[in-house]
Amino acid sequence: MSASLVLALAACGGSGGSPTQAAGKDQSLDSLSTADLAAAAAKEGTLTWYTTFADDDVQPIVAAFNKKYPDVQVKPLRLSADKIPPRVITEQRGKQYTADIVSGDSPQVAQLLQAGALQPYTPKDQSALPSGLALPEGYEGIVYVVTTVIAYNPDIVKSKGLPAPTGWEDLTKPAWKGQFSIDPGAVNWYDSLVNGMGHDQALDLLKRLGANKPVFVESHTQALTQVQAGEPAGAATAYGYKASSLKKKNAKTVEFVNDAQLPSSLTLIDVVKNAPHPAAARLFEDWMVSQEGQQAVVDITNHTSIRADVKNDTAVWDPAKWKPAWGEPNLPAKTYNDELNEMKTALQAP
């Protein structure tokens, strides 16, 4: 997403009011018991879910939800994170309310929150936010955590005589020049680095990575696909959950490294303002953040849950080994734009 577009989306919140003013007309549903909410959702019969979950994960998650709530048809629309805010904002400007619920990376969901495009709802079995993080009340639904790691192809690294990377600093060395990829739009990663090591040090690291001629990719998924194929040999911005899943399938093509201060960011889930199926949206969010829903998310996708009663992949998430360096979950539009522009300039990205 371009900087000007992000600013435009934030600006449209001027007439939409603050997050609490964007509550919508369905708050009476908030006090319903689970049984009564499920009955109301069954009468609505359907909901539309805009999500950043991978294509091959969406239907299994829907199936897990429908195993418990078979009377609610879920219509998912899979979008990249940067496509969700303009989609929802454009629809709402045209008085077209299609989405009932959205889940996506926190910087992009923050754009919707700041634009007044969401309405507050606190799920019935919601976990507390990680220590040190804050979100406005009613917008704290966490569907999973993502960590950014260095991934590489061990066979290719060996064949090229490259030193196996142990951290981002290694990718700034001459041996790795032109041998790794990076996503110049990975604001969640950069914001985590800024919070973990300080702005000046994080920016200096990006400048030195940029000087080492990285291959630019459009997503973390594309980065891992290329690593598996062996060109380039490594990726500076890969998601830990996906790297671990691929390593389990073929350890010869994917290895990954967690930093001692592990860049971590939240993926959020929220009800959309004027959702056409408000009961179904709330029921879906209730289930998604519950212990049952979270374990299903982890089992299906290998994502990380913040819940203490859910079993995560310990190769991806173990705060005793790798301290989370959290990105800001409600990143202001100006900060988002500043960091995005800094990234692209530092990395010498087009």
In this prediction, the residues of the chain whose per-residue pLDDT falls under 50 are 1-24
The tens digit of pLDDT for each residue in 79-106 reads 988 899 999 999 999 999 999 999 999 9
CB atoms near residue 3 (< 10 Å): 16
pLDDT of residue 32: 95
Residue 234 β-bridge partners: 152, 180
Q: What DSSP character marks residue 128?
A: P
Helix pair 55-68, 291-301: axis angle to 10 deg: 150
- Helix-then-strand count for the chain, H and E: 14, 11
pLDDT of residue 180: 98
Residue 255 β-bridge partners: 152
163 by Cβ neighbours in 10 Å (0-12 / 13-18 / 19+) ranks as exposed
Which of 236, 237, 188, 240 shows the shortest CA–CA distance to 212? 236
**Residue 315: both structure tokens together:** 């190769």
pLDDT of residue 194: 96
pLDDT of residue 285: 98
Helix (H/G/I), strand (E/B), else coil: 330: coil
Which of 125, 8, 103, 88 shows the shortest CA–CA distance to 57? 103
pLDDT of residue 25: 54
Write down the residue that tokens 């997403």 correspond to: 1
Give the angle subtended at the CA of 107 by the CAs of 266 and 247, to the nearest 5°.
50
Non-local (6+) Cβ contacts of 69 within 8 A are: 38, 41, 42, 283, 287
Residue 348 to residues 10, 189, 215, 326, Cα–Cα distance (Å): 27, 17, 11, 25
Q: What DSSP character marks residue 329?
A: T
Pair 239, 145: CB distance under 8 Å: no
Query: Is residue 117 within a helix (H) or strand (E), and if so which, with residue range?
Result: none
pLDDT of residue 221: 87
What's the predicted TM-score (pTM) here? Answer: 0.88
